[in-house]
Copies of this chain bind each other. A is one copy, B any other.
């Protein structure tokens, strides 16, 4: 068993609630309620929330208290660019660092995407798309980078639910296949052309 203290426990719990969207964007976290719920002290909750704040998942209000992050359009754009940059950088590194296993995993996902596209399963396709890009970033072989990317991804998808058009699913799947091909060929410019969707 991992020996975790109360504040860490609270941190994990609250984090889970945020990630799983049990608490919506912009909502206040009331300390006493959480303290009761998780059977920990208010001080532990505050510690947990502070940690989450450092992580960027929470912000503290002007009049005190913690709130789930919610981005205004400008911040959202800013973060979008950051994520874009990370993905491009990751792809570049992936050219050198991607393992055979990574590529196999990517191919697996693309096959899945084709199936989902055929059946117009947009939600599933969206999930697969997310996963594909995460694996691509993971191929750069940097846990830290992946963590950052996931965090950015979460914050963006929480505000702007960029839904796919069912019509373009097939096209998108093909695009992802091209990414893999470029990766296999170690062709950077071709890879970047596919990755940077701007």
Contacts and interface: CB of A to CB of B under 8 A. Distances in A.
Interface of A: 3, 5, 7-8, 11, 43, 46-48, 50-56, 60, 62, 64, 75, 78-79, 81-82, 84-90, 92-93, 96-97, 140-145, 148, 152, 188-189, 192, 196, 198
Given A46-B43, A55-B55, A93 B88 contact: yes
Contacts of A142: 78-79, 81-82, 85
Given A85-B89, A97-B81, A50 B148 contact: no
Nearest to A47: B50
> Which among A82, A148, A196 has the highest number of chain B CB atoms within 10 Å?
A82
Contact of A145 (B50, B82, B144, B145): B82
A46 to B, nearest CB: 6
Contacts of A5: 64
A28 B50 CA distance: 19
Contacts of A64: 5
Nearest to A8: B60
Given A5-B64, A88-B92, A81 B51 contact: no
B192 A92 contact: yes
B46 A145 contact: no
28 contacts: A3-B62, A7-B46, A8-B60, A47-B50, A48-B50, A51-B54, A52-B54, A78-B141, A78-B142, A79-B144, A81-B141, A81-B145, A82-B140, A82-B142, A82-B145, A84-B89, A84-B93, A85-B140, A86-B89, A86-B145, A87-B89, A88-B88, A88-B92, A88-B93, A89-B89, A89-B92, A92-B192, A189-B189
A156 to B, nearest CB: 11
Nearest to A52: B54
B85 A93 contact: yes
A163 B9 CA distance: 42
Nearest to A155: B144
